[in-house]
Chain A
């Protein structure tokens, strides 16, 4: 049998899909590097609006903690899909945030000025207290071990559920390392 160390993986296999939206898997470190802001906050309002051919659901987030990005107390985030005037645009797999719910969000503001959730489901961590009173950050979609086409190596599996303090520490560590 051919030496296993020679066996690498190709781009044929890379997309990571949690939903009908086709996602590319990002590590926490990559998300921290690519995000234009990383915030903890609570959803205070949501509404839908059309912009060109797309309908977006807008969420207003009251920011309570910030790891990266400009220091505004509120941020407006958009997610594709929603209903305007009785017309529904549907994309399965896009995050749906709950009003009043608290999240850690990895955000990305593009040249359009719209602020998106980075990697959609990958960039949303629910913030809740567990039975012991500890604050937990959990990502709803299951992660998986996948194969990184760039390095040909296996990608470490990301934790789905961790203490908020631990998530905060990992974000700070990732931000302390200059992006390559």
Chain B
């Protein structure tokens, strides 16, 4: 039965997006007081105080002491970099993690960042992660927060039995990084769930819940507009609010997103992709509520605020039976309110923490994946509960039932698993019309209901399998790796340790890839990752095939600069021997106080980088780490941080257009360079671009406006400023092509009516200068901003006139109305000048 629950509810716009009932989620939460209204104050990094608004991560130069056979430090570093990139590429979040290189834990640092440490951990402990914060509440544009001073991820020094190339290590690392960024545990089988129920793989490492959790802390501009929310309250039947109850919105064929209730039982689930959801509430599992579980929210005095008693799980609108649950419609930019629950207290929770396993091959894998095109004899999983036995006397526990939420699959049999009857074997039948994806299992026993999100993942083919990996030389003399195996398809990604390899060709059972750069003689573990989340480790476990690189001379680098004062920024030219710099090359100076602002790779052996030192950095000697693919180069004593020089003109490499304020300048434009220690008059200031003086228009204490010559070539140029007789350090600035210009707008939905545009209208923009003539522009790379609301282009195509493009988009439901709403188009960092559009509500 479906209930049109949304009709009973009210919706409101997200104007009060972080209002009094904002989501408590599962962050490290502080409250102003122990009485409502409760506004959660999370611990998080203050991106506005970080260079480039990015969180640096640094890797300790001490350890690990021991690695597993076939593992390597190069492989381990690549997994850390891969994990950082996963957290850095999320829709809805502006969080970016930047590589800081190897660091010495003894070196003083003032800028917040994440430290990856290899520490002595007792047996039985694999890894830890968490933030360090002083309980100082700071106002922010998205609401008050407690700034994280630094975070740590601790791995064991002895990694003998935890090879870095295993899925288990990678997901543990990713999970601990999540803690370091400010996330606690969730009960939705996401990455941030404990390993008991975690249902992610290297191929699909994050769920909607993880993305919502991190996006709430570090929201992108359009996060609130692209997603919707559900809010309400959970009461005990005795009248008081239920604190720290987990409320979950779950899509039958998709993932779940959750939030924890505040001490008064109010909650709000944010970050929900638009769609239909079941909503249920359940108590946190006992281990999370014990003395070793979730870090409880604290009041202003730092005293923890406890969770309420356990209660019976309940589906909205107040039923234990999911068949009678209603669905809630979630709309982008809207809060669906009034999703309330009244729950019955119970003495204890027994049914929780179910782990499921399946058998794609000869070994069991977790999470459970079942191939509907595989043999029906494998259409089953094994289940075991953390809280209670699911079997008794060699049979399923009498009274226990298991079902699938929302259809698409059905439970066909329950029995005790033959080889070990403590495991419950759950068999399935599948609706052939239902697509692949996660299925959610509902367990009921003795009036207790437990829902396991993504307890079963339906796929329609077997995991990939790599039989052989051989090194060959192609017709052009380049080294390639030839893989043979099964289920290696065009959408399969191949990883050499933690670095994706570029796929050259795929034919039946054979794949040719370009191995990423690696040290000579390096032995890389090769893993195939399918688009459906399955990996070759499902069939091959830890016994991954190994690709051995040819011997090669070791690389070396030299730097054009070896000292920089605190507060200064400078261009560093890096010249290499036996290096292979490319667009993926990252470099760090072993301190969160030294930031690499931007890199230009000029050749495999030459690159330029703008390096900035924090104004309050200590005078220390830092090292350089350069990482390309699996190859990393270290230079221990690369950069001496000096005391700040009050006479030195300091300039920033980030130029701004004087007319628009945008961070993109072009030939002929007036550019603003910011900095310090400038003398007062234009006549005493010299600005050069590539050593050629350029006209200076005005000078203030911290800004110089100068003219970029119309003849200036686009691309990198070297900027220097002389002021008061002193020259600044040179920095590299990017001269862009002129910005695109919107020359026309056609509203196909309005036709010839002449009416103002309104939400839902299909609009076509005509642009000049969006890209070089002849370039194919992917719609995904083009954004249309209407007011402050970001829209994704639906299509982008070239006009017959060279250099002219059409961009089509649909006007969103949440755009502001008015007679002159600005419309801009952006591609990469370039933003068009505004075009004004009348919009009616």
Q: Which of A31, A114, A140, A154 contacts B124 (CB 8 A)?
A: A31
Q: Which of A14, A89, A123, A141 contacts B132 (CB 8 A)?
A: A89
- How far apart are the CA atoms of A140 and B359 in the complex, in Å? 32
Question: Which listed residue (A6, A92, A147, A154) contacts B185, Cβ 8 A?
Answer: A92
Interface string of B128-168 (1 = CB under 8 A from A): 11111111000000000000011010100000000000111
Q: B120 — which chain A residues lie within 8 A by C-beta?
A: 110-112, 114, 116
Q: Nearest Cβ distance between residue A168 and chain B, in whole angstroms?
A: 21
Q: How far is the CB of A154 from chain B (nearest CB, A)?
A: 5
Cβ–Cβ < 8 Å partners of A80 in chain B = 128, 154
Report whether A10 and B365 are in contact in the complex, using a CB–CB cutoff of 8 Å. yes
Q: Report Cα–Cα, A12/B541, bound state, in Å.
A: 7
A22 interface hit (Cβ, 8 Å): yes
**A4 with B418: CB separation less than 8 A:** yes
Minimum CB–CB distance from B481 to chain A (whole Å) comes to: 24
- A140 B185 Cβ-Cβ under 8 A: no
Given A15-B195, A91-B130, A154-B420; A26-B124 close (CB under 8 Å)? yes
Q: Which residues of A contact B168 (CB under 8 A)?
A: 11-15
- Cβ of B28 within 8 Å of any chain A Cβ, yes or no, is yes
The 22 sampled A-B contact pairs (Cβ below 8 Å) are A1-B375, A4-B418, A6-B362, A7-B419, A11-B166, A12-B166, A12-B365, A18-B292, A20-B194, A34-B123, A80-B128, A87-B134, A90-B28, A94-B292, A96-B291, A122-B124, A140-B292, A144-B384, A145-B423, A146-B355, A154-B420, A157-B422
Contact between chains at A118 and B122 (CB < 8 Å): yes
| Chain A residues, CB < 8 A from B179 | 20, 91-92
8 Å CB contact of A22 from B167, B176, B419:
B176
CA distance A14 to B127 in the complex (A): 13
Hey, which chain A residues are within 8 Å of B802, CB to CB? none
- Shortest C-beta distance, B637 to chain A (Å), equals 22
Contacts A20-B129, A53-B150, A53-B152 supplied; 4 other A-B pairs, CB < 8 Å? A13-B364, A19-B293, A95-B292, A145-B384
Within 8 A of A (CB), among B611-644: none
Give per-residue flags for A21-48: 1 if the beta carbon is below 8 A from chain B beta carbons, else 0: 1111110001100100000000000000
A121 within 8 A of B: yes
Taking the closest CB of chain B, its distance from the CB of A45, in whole angstroms, is: 18
B residues 109-125 in Cβ contact with A at 8 Å: 115, 117, 119-125
Q: Could you tell me which B residues sit within 8 Å of A by CB distance?
A: 28, 43, 105-106, 115, 117, 119-135, 149-150, 152, 154, 166-168, 172, 175-176, 179, 184-185, 194-196, 285-288, 290-295, 302, 353, 355, 357, 359, 362-366, 375, 377-378, 384-387, 417-420, 422-423, 537-538, 541-542
Cα distance, A4 to B353, chains bound together (Å)? 25
Cβ-closest chain A residue relative to B106: A52
CB-defined contacts of A117 to chain B, threshold 8 Å: 122
Tell me which of B28, B115, B124, B295 contacts A24 (CB under 8 A): B124
Q: How far is the CA of A123 from the CA of B135 in the complex (A)?
A: 31
Task: Kindly list the 3 A-B residue pairs having the minimum CB-CB distance in the complex, ordered from nearest.
Answer: A119-B124, A10-B541, A1-B377
Chain A residues in the interface with B (C-beta under 8 A): 1-2, 4-26, 30-31, 34, 52-55, 80-81, 83, 86-96, 108, 110-112, 114, 116-123, 140-147, 154, 157
Residues of B within 8 A of A91 (CB): 128-130, 179
Residues of A within 8 A of B286 (CB): 142
**Bound CA span A5–B302, Å:** 54
B419 cross-chain contacts in A, Cβ below 8 A: 4-5, 7
Q: Which residue of chain A has the shortest Cβ distance to B375 in the bound complex?
A: A1
A11 to B542, CA, bound (A): 7
A8 touching B363 in the complex, CB below 8 Å, given contacts A19-B194, A88-B133: yes
Q: Which residue of A lies closest to B386 (CB)?
A: A144
A159 smallest CB distance to B (angstroms): 13
Q: Which of B129, B184, B287, B420 has the most CB of A within 10 A?
A: B287
Which residues of A are found within 8 Å of B184, using beta-carbon distances?
20, 92
What separation, in Å, do the CA atoms of A18 and B294 have in the docked complex? 10
Contact present for B132 and A144 (CB under 8 Å):
no
Q: Are B124 and A123 in contact (CB under 8 A)?
A: yes
Please report the C-alpha to C-alpha distance between residue A83 and residue B149 in the assembled complex, in whole angstroms. 13
Q: In the bound complex, what is the Cα–Cα distance between A142 and B386 (angstroms)?
A: 7
Alpha-carbon distance between A65 and B167 when the two chains are bound, in angstroms? 42
Provide the bound-state CA to CA distance between A141 and B542, in Å: 29
Q: How far is the CB of A76 from chain B (nearest CB, A)?
A: 15
Contact B295 A90 (CB under 8 A): yes
Residue contact B355 to A144, C-beta cutoff 8 Å:
yes
| Bound complex: CA A17 to CA B120 (Å) | 19
**Contact flag A89-B130 (CB < 8 Å), given A20-B184, A22-B175, A23-B125:** yes
A13–B290 CB distance below 8 A: no
Bound form: Cα–Cα A151–B697 in Å: 76
Q: How far is the CB of B541 from chain A (nearest CB, A)?
A: 4
A34, B122: Cα distance in complex, Å: 9
Contact A141 B290, beta carbon cutoff 8 Å: yes
Q: Is A2 a contact of B362 with CB atoms below 8 Å?
A: yes
Question: B292, A141: Cβ atoms under 8 Å?
Answer: yes
Give chain A nearest CB distance to B720 CB in angstroms: 39
Determine how close the nearest CB of chain A comes to the CB of B443; give it in whole angstroms. Answer: 15
Q: How far is the CB of B441 from chain A (nearest CB, A)?
A: 17
B292 nearest in chain A by CB position: A121
> Which of B115, B195, B365, B537 meets A53, CB within 8 Å?
B115
Nearest CB of chain B from residue A19's CB, rounded to whole Å: 6
Closest to A16 in B: B195
A154–B377 Cα distance when bound, in Å, is: 22
Nearest CB of B to A4, in Å: 4
Contact A22 B124, CB 8 Å, known A5-B419, A14-B168: no
Contact A87 to B124, CB < 8 A, known contacts A12-B167, A52-B106, A120-B292: no
Q: How far does the alpha carbon of A26 sit from the alpha carbon of B387 in the complex, in Å?
A: 18
B384 contacts across to A, CB distance below 8 A: 144-146
Contacts of A26 in B (CB 8 A): 123-124
A113 to chain B: closest residue by CB: B120
Q: Inside 8 A of A118's CB, which chain B residues have their CB?
A: 122-124
B123 adjacent to A119 (CB under 8 Å): yes
| CA–CA, A80 and B791, complex, Å | 46
Q: Is the CB of B422 within 8 A of A154?
A: yes
What is the chain A residue whose CB lies nearest that of B120?
A: A110
Most buried by A among B122, B176, B386: B122
Residue of B at shortest CB range from A98?
Answer: B291
Collect the chain B residues with CB atoms within 8 Å of residue A34's CB.
123-124
**B175 to A10, Cβ gap below 8 A?**
no
Complex CA gap A53/B291 in Å reads: 24
Q: Which of B106, B150, B366 has the most CB of A within 10 A?
A: B366
Chain B residue at smallest Cβ distance from A117: B122
Give the docked Cα–Cα distance between A176 and B426 (Å): 41
Known A-B contacts A11-B542, A54-B152, A80-B128; the reply to A18 vs B359 at CB < 8 A is no
Contact of A15 with B122 in the complex, beta carbons under 8 Å: no
Q: How far is the CB of B388 from chain A (nearest CB, A)?
A: 10
Contact status A24-B363, CB under 8 Å: no
Q: Which residues of B contact A95 (CB under 8 A)?
A: 291-292
**Do B176 and A20 have beta carbons less than 8 Å apart?**
yes
Q: How far is the CB of B158 from chain A (nearest CB, A)?
A: 10
Residues of B within 8 A of A9 (CB): 357, 363-364
Residue in A closest to B193 when the chains form the complex, CB atoms: A17
Q: Is B364 in contact with A147, judged by CB distance below 8 angstroms?
A: yes
Q: How distant is the Cα of A94 from the Cα of B538 in the complex, in angstroms? A: 31
**Contact residues in B for A147 (Cβ distance below 8 Å):** 357, 364
Task: Report the minimum CB–CB distance from B182 to chain A (whole Å).
Answer: 10
Chain B residue nearest to A95 in the complex (CB)? B292
In the bound complex, CA of A31 to CA of B133 (Å) = 34
Contacts of B122 in A (CB 8 A): 108, 110, 116-120, 123
Contact A8 B291 (CB under 8 A): no
Give, as a whole number of angstroms, the nearest-CB distance from B189 to chain A. 13
The answer on a CB contact under 8 Å between B541 and A11 is: yes
Most buried by B among A12, A17, A141: A12
**Given A4-B418, A26-B123, A118-B122, are A20 and B185 also a contact pair (CB < 8 Å)?**
yes
Report Cα–Cα, A30/B196, bound state, in Å: 21
Q: Return chain A residues, CB-CB under 8 Å to B134.
A: 86-88
